[in-house]
Structure 1
Amino acid sequence: MYCNDRFDRDCQREYTRFGLHGMWAIEPLLKEYGVDLVIWAHDHLYERSFPLYDNKVYNGSTEHPYVNPGAPVHIITGSAGCKEGHAHFQKDPAAWSAFRSSDYGYTRLVAHNKTHVYMEQINVEQKGQVIDSLWLIKNQHKPYDIK
């Protein structure tokens, strides 16, 4: 999974891209099957990526990165809490990181129809304030054309 947690070894290992011992890499399958949204929850934080493949950003456009994006969008939504406390981000996030928060919270997702998905991150430490939101719009579902 793509993440910027300072202490999580899984963020550094890049299993999504390369698999475990060179096997079971997920990212090529996400590309091949045109997966729009990848939701992770292992890490105890919230992080949203720009459309992303092989550490490169493939925004739909500069103004509207999530309208007909050129790669899957990754969301880590594991911020419901942890007995070990808050997660800690690296000081300098990767260029693909669009938004991140280590506050406790939860994510709401609504699939409005076959082309529009809405997500928002709720911060429970700020009494239910929406701290992040996103409309993911994809007019045609097909494999990504990434070279």
Structure 2
Amino acid sequence: MTCPGNHEEAYNFSNYRNRFTMPGNTDGLWYSWDLGPAHIISFSTEVYFYLKYGRELVAQQYQWLQKDLQEASSWTHRSERPWIITMAHRPMYCTNFDRDDCVKRDSTVRTGLPGGQYALEDLFYKYGVDLEIWAHEHSYERMWPVYNSTVYKGSPQAPYTNPPAPVHITTGSAGCRERLDPFFPLHREWSAVRIEDYGYTRIHIANKTHIHIQQVSDDRDGEIVDDIWLIKDKR
């Protein structure tokens, strides 16, 4: 299951649109599907950055996201599929040593276009998104449960058990000719773990209350370098 990134933007994502066939009728730019006890949403962060293709794409996607999240968070749907997971390319938060959008205090993906139009963080928080998966940064970074740059742990002893805010995972360290992205030396309070190895993330949706997340390092011959359980047994 795919989502578009910045390298797919040429000619209004025409290569991406024609190469992949995803659910729905939006050429795979945004869509959702159900997988076991989870509702998973793939969307495009790129419509916010390539406005030369039309601001209407931003509006259309946002309206679609609202409708999809309303349905996914309804009691009928959520009683069967309690997990809501999003995936897209550019993160809302990151601590990488570059000039990407996610290093900004008010990143575009998080706070929307000028004037706060089509802001995604408030939308995802409103409808109780549990897990947000990102890429773009060539590294792995796990955040504490976070909303509006503020950490909301489930508890000091069990931060990922019933957290009141979404958990963000940036997993972009699979490798490319641009190599890895270093991290900024200063710590940010919402950043929990930063790993600068080539590797990939495994996410196992175990059941209606538990999700297992592991980061596997290729640089360390398959060693698991991050391992957490996200638990939601109270809703």
TM-score when scaled to structure 2?
Answer: 0.58
The runs of at least 4 aligned residues of structure 1 exceeding 4 Å deviation read: none
Q: What is the CA-CA distance between 1:75 and the residue it aligns to? A: 0.3
Structure 1: which 5+ runs fail to align? Answer: 142-147
CA contact (8 A) 1:8 1:43 kept: no
Q: Deviations over 1:96-126 (max 9, x none)?
A: 1110112110000000111100000000000
Any unmatched runs of 5+ in structure 2? 1-91
**Residue equivalent to 2:96:** 5
Structure with a larger share of its residues in strand? 1
Q: Secondary structure at the match of 2:158?
A: coil
Superposition deviation, residue 82 in structure 1? 2.0
Give the counterpart letter for 1:132 in structure 2.
Answer: D
Distance 1:20 1:80 in 2: 30
Q: 2: distance between equivalents of 1:132 and 1:8?
A: 26
* Percentage of matched positions with identical amino acids: 49
Query: Which residue of structure 2 aligns with residue 119 of structure 1?
Result: 213
Aligned pairs (5 A) from 1:1-147 = 1-13=92-104, 14-21=107-114, 22-141=116-235
Q: Which structure's CA Rg is the greater one?
A: 2
Shift of 1:64: 0.3
Question: SS of the residue aligned with 1:125?
Answer: coil
Distance 1:127 1:80, change over 3 A: same
Where 2:109 maps in the other structure, the secondary structure is helix
TM-score calculated relative to the size of structure 1: 0.91
Greater relative contact order (Cα < 8 A, sep 6+) = 1
Q: Name whichever structure is richer in helix by fraction.
A: 2
Whole-angstrom distance in 2 between the partners of 1:134 and 1:15? 29
Structure 1 residue 140, shift from structure 2 partner: 3.3
Output the amino acid matched with 1:23: Q
